[in-house]
Amino acid sequence: MYLGTASEDPSQGLGPPASSRNRQATPAITKGRLDTLRTLVARCFSRRQSAAIPRLELLDMVNAELAPGEPKFEEPELDQGLAKLEEANKVMIDDTGDEVIYVG
């Protein structure tokens, strides 16, 4: 039998799950970074001449196109940017989240 308080008893399910406690909040993508991402995504699809690119491959391609000294995109920032581009009907993300489809 557990003799601590309810807030200390892990079986009570109180407090956020361990995964959310350990996860740091990702700041929202800035307008400037979104504009850069939009341009580079269009460039990558144009050079690749393909309608769909795997998301992680697109991340590598976008980072390879950045100007010298410009910070690389990390996965959370890419995902935020792609979500905004999807809202603007520039790209679509397939159901698995693994493929990015260029709309234009």
7 belongs to a structural domain: no
Q: How many domains are contained in the chain? A: 1
The structure tokens 């269009």 sit at 42
For 80, the domain range is 30-102
pLDDT (tens digit per residue) in 41-58: 999 999 998 899 999 999
In whole angstroms, give the CA distance from residue 41 to residue 90.
9
CATH of the domain at 71: 1.10.10.10
What is the maximum span of the chain, computed from C-alpha positions, in angstroms?
65
36 belongs to a structural domain: yes
Question: pTM for the full model?
Answer: 0.73
DSSP annotation of 4 reads: S
pLDDT at 22 over 90: no
